[in-house]
Amino acid sequence: MNNFVNELQTREFIYQSTNLVDLKKSIESNKIKAYVGFDCTAKSLHVGNLIQIMMLRWLQKFGHQPIILLGGGTTKIGDPSGKDEARKVLGFSDIEENKNSIKKVFAKFLNFNSENKAIVLDNDEWLKDINYIDFLRDFGKYFSINRMINFESVKLRLDREQSLSFLEFNYMLLQAFDFYHLYNKEQCVLQMGGSDQWGNIVNGVELIRKKLGKEVYGLTSPLLTTSSGAKMGKTASGAVWLNEELLSPYEYWQFWRNTEDADVIKFLKLFTELPLKYIDELSKLSGKEINDAKIILADEATKLCHGIEAANSAKSTSKQTFEANNIDNNLPKYEVSSIEIKNGMALFKLLISCNLAASNSAARKLIQGNGVRINNNVVNDINYIIKIKDFNNSNLKLSVGKKKHMLIKLTT
């Protein structure tokens, strides 16, 4: 009988688990609640968080209830897991603003109106009122320092002789307490997260077992890197955000379209809901045909995050840009004032300003190498000055290579 865990296994979501056999048996006859925690360190989650969101989506599709735990409390401390150094401590107002912003993305992936509707909770609700002396007395004895310093996330920091503050060390205890609280109040029996969260998850599982004598479960997903070794969700221009205010649907679609050949099938399994039999057929594509699979990946991933209309628009924009060489108004935009252009703006400076080049030398190298186009025409003069005549109806299309395009808009 197929179930939630089997689906995750087949699609290669699962990296580690505490007791997979018993979890499978438990969910065959019971509807469960499971949670993933998301700290509020930015105004949007990014593609690196998407694998956990998809796990919650599959959980709900199989009839179980997902809990989204926002780390309004734990963000005040900072999670050391997978980090080389202490995370910047944010102000409370920044955390609140981030929290409200990232809530919006979950409505795209999860159902908040069904019988097993998704629940959003904030651990600040119970962590802010903890009495430290009472907490140490009631829970401190269940945590072994010897065991905690041997978890990979802590061990890496210590082995590199990098500072690990007592503030950060407390994060493990608080995340374990979150699981304990959710078990008591919500009957939540499963925590999921990335593999960097393994130590935190195990602490929660063991706390509930030791203090309450109850069995709960933990699952982690692999921390994804692309075939070239790059961290999933990171590009040269920054994070691939899920909120469209920070990254347009076109740029999101383009990110997936530019997937490396070796990653396409893996990403189709993880980030779309296409049937595995169909994905297996796509895996047989080779050569230039693999681009068809990349377009399917971009379409399906963008539909989930931004809706079918945005996906279709992004695909149309891409086709116009790459095949018809037209200027499409859905391209990423950068505004320059008519006064700046009237006085003349160096092309290499504009490339840097709109993040198509990282430095003066990089911009000049791109220009000299015939890698820069204005309105589809190659410009290889490193001293080229952009003027009003380069604009068509206040628009100029600036391109770097075959895949990076920016619509430069003239403002008064």
Give the whole-angstrom CA distance, residue 230 versus residue 369: 25
Residue 321 half-sphere exposure toward CB, CA atoms < 13 A: 28
Q: Are strands 404-411 and 33-39 parallel, antiparallel or unpaired?
A: unpaired
Which residues contribute to the annotated binding site for L-tyrosine? 35, 171, 175
Which element (helix H / strand E) includes 209? helix 198-212
Q: What is the DSSP string of 370-404?
A: T-EEETTEE---TT-EE-GGG-BTTEEEEEETTTE
Give the whole-angstrom CA distance, residue 250 versus residue 120: 29
Both tokens of 87, joined, read: 């995370």
Which residues contribute to the annotated binding site for ATP? 234
Distances (CA, A) of 99 to 93, 131, 230, 244, 376: 10, 24, 28, 16, 42
Residue matched to tokens 């969700």: 233
End-to-end CA distance of the chain, in Å? 64
C-alpha closest to that of 172 among 192, 189, 147: 147
Rg over alpha carbons for the chain, rounded to the nearest Å, is 24
Which residues contribute to the annotated binding site? 35, 171, 175, 234
Both tokens of 254, joined, read: 């383009």
C-alpha closest to that of 25 among 39, 9, 6, 44: 6
Q: What is the DSSP string of 65-121?
A: EEEEEEETTGGGT---TT-SSPPPPPPHHHHHHHHHHHHHHHHHHS-SSSTT--EEE
Give the whole-angstrom CA distance, residue 261 versus residue 286: 9
Give the whole-angstrom CA distance, residue 120 versus residue 320: 40
Beta bridge partners of 37: 69
Residue 248: CB partners within 8 Å, gap ≥ 6?
330, 332
Both tokens of 250, joined, read: 């076109």
